[in-house]
A and B are shown apart, each in its own frame.
Chain A
Amino acid sequence: GNSVTQMEGPVTLSEEAFLTINCTYTATGYPSLFWYVQYPGEGLQLLLKATKADDKGSNKGFEATYRKETTSFHLEKGSVQVSDSAVYFCALSGNTDKLIFGTGTRLQVFP
């Protein structure tokens, strides 16, 4: 079945450092891919998405490119801020509205 694998955290960075959070997936067909973010004490929010191979999703300085050849959707940001500290979830959907989530990666950014 479909599944998502994320790198384990926590990821600890200093402010203005470069961020990469790895995400790989297993799916039949051509899934849609998502990154969601969860700030402390809140529900998840959609950060970005991509619907087909080579698409790049971007939002708030974050980017992720749908790589079908490596079945990956890594999240990147060039310069993180303390306010980016949160848990990040990679997710996919097949041909339904059901989302399958990865286990989440906690990001901690220090001044």
Chain B
Amino acid sequence: NAGVTQTPKFQVLKTGQSMTLQCAQDMNHEYMSWYRQDPGMGLRLIHYSVGAGITDQGEVPNGYNVSRSTTEDFPLRLLSAAPSQTSVYFCASSFPSGRGLGGYTFGSGTRLTVV
């Protein structure tokens, strides 16, 4: 099925551990992004990419790294997890239109808890 696939769906980490959240899309979308969703704060942009080999920071990039070696994949790495990174993470992709008009396709999310 075409769409955005995120793994894992749930994860519990201990403070200081590292992990990678996976995101893959099969729609040949050039634009991909990571958001975190926290109660009362909506969705905040972490990192985004306009194509393979190109990434940039969003609103809340600290503590996260990304890379984009292929069009399909856009993993998000937590280098040293902190309780403040407890959140629901969404990956989204779209065709680039220059104005968001392609409409984002979202994954179903990864619920991360850092203890």
Contacts and interface: CB of A to CB of B under 8 A. Distances in A.
Nearest to A96: B98
A49 B103 contact: yes
Interface in B75-102: 90, 92, 94, 96-102
Interface residues of A, number: 25
B43 A32 contact: no
A94 B99 CA distance: 6
A46 interface: yes
B58 interface: yes
B27 interface: no
A25 interface: no
B45 A98 contact: yes
A95 interface: yes
Given A89-B42, A97-B50, A101-B42, A44 B90 contact: yes
Contacts of B104: 36, 44, 46, 99
